[in-house]
Amino acid sequence: MFISSDRPAPIGSDSARTARSTRHTAARPTTTSRVRQLVRRLHLWLGLSVGLLFVLIGLTGSALVFYVEIDAALHPASRIEAERGPGWDSPVWDRALAAARAEWPGPAGSWSFEATGKGGAIPARYYPHAGHHGHHGHHAEREMVWFSPDGTQVVRHAPWGGYAMSWLYELHMHLLAGELGSQVVGWSGTVMLLLLVSGIAAWWPRGRWRKALAFKQDAAPIRRLRDLHKLFGLWSAGLLLVLVGTGVLLALPNVKALLLAPDSVPDPTSSRVDGRQIPIVQALAAAHRALPAARLAFIDVPGHGDGAIRMRVQVPGDPHRRFPSSFIFVDQYSGKVLAVHDERRGTSGTRLGAWIRCLHDGSVGGLPVRILAVLLGLVPAILFVTGFLHWRRRRRAARPQATAKAHFGSNIS
């Protein structure tokens, strides 16, 4: 019952008791409001704690979407042209290997040649130290090398991490800290997922959807900041969840294996270690017979030892052109096919895993999706700036009110 008169009701009257009860009930927060307030505080402190890292990873990721093109523009000697490059039966690979071993003669060193499918320089990686059966992990020391189109000359070489785009890649994936950095990026990514979900939950309206989705242009600056933060977050949230989620799985392969349980890639060995390594073209011919519909992506040639020559190939249906998920292993001494890992014959986890990288780097869907990926990488910076400015303005606005309340309380006492 509301008091319609300006005159206060007598103390102890039913009207006074009802008024006090009504004010007390209105002031008491409901469970829903308490949860919403908790979610908002969680979103705020998550944003302040991992927000800058989110910005860094987003901005570097935007630059890496066009990694190859930017690097070629910075180094014209290694530019990849539109004409057709060497394929399955090309003698260029053996010429490139001969030129490589003349320049880097270490017997334990292994080589990985990239088959871009285009003309121009041939990209390769040199691993100077012996790896497991001649192959290396993602963090192994390596020299990036580019050969002339005919494979006879080295036109450029630089250590991985020693030129701009590779340094940027290391910053994005590992924070320049190797395996430890990967762990930090991966587990921070799970916090970023919680940040995104808490933002949606904190905004979720209780009715009045049109108002909740509106941008009030003539509002005060603090309201406009909130609306900008809200709208950028809402329209990008779904794509950011995909981007961050796939990034977490790329940074934490053990978590990926636990969640998806993909088929393991074989790791066969060559039959003898005292023979002479066969030409690459012979190994390619055997591999092509094993998977005739596959497109060649990489040729990994081990150093002297028991490692197998490994071809990384793209089979029909594999979404990633540059880093496909199928492999063919050939004995480096006999030329016999030792194992075939065909992504199409794998479990659902194997097939799903093939999509993770291309969903993350925007390589599926062509140029429009890559441009979208670039724009999406800018969103964390916008969200951080608008969220931080809104939070700072609210703190400044709250200080005079807190001072006034303290002053009022001291006068009463």
- In the chain, the percentage of residues whose pLDDT exceeds 90 is 72
Residue whose entry in the numeric block shows the structure tokens 């993770």: 356
Amino acid making up residue 276: R
pTM of the shown model: 0.85
163-167, long-range: CB within 8 Å, 24+ apart, which pairs?
A: 163/71, 163/74, 163/75, 164/71, 164/74, 165/63, 165/64, 165/67, 165/70, 165/71, 165/74
pLDDT tens track for 187-225 = 999 999 999 999 999 999 887 888 888 888 878 888 899
For the chain, the domains span 41-63+175-260+368-392, 80-167+264-362
pLDDT tens track for 51-100 = 999 999 999 999 999 999 999 999 998 888 767 889 999 999 999 999 99
pLDDT tens track for 220-245 = 888 899 999 999 999 999 999 999 99
Mean pLDDT score, 156-162: 97
- Range among 80-89, 284-293, 350-359 with highest mean pLDDT value: 284-293
Alpha-helical runs (H) found in 10-137: 14-27, 31-64, 67-74, 92-103
pLDDT tens track for 87-100 = 999 999 999 999 99
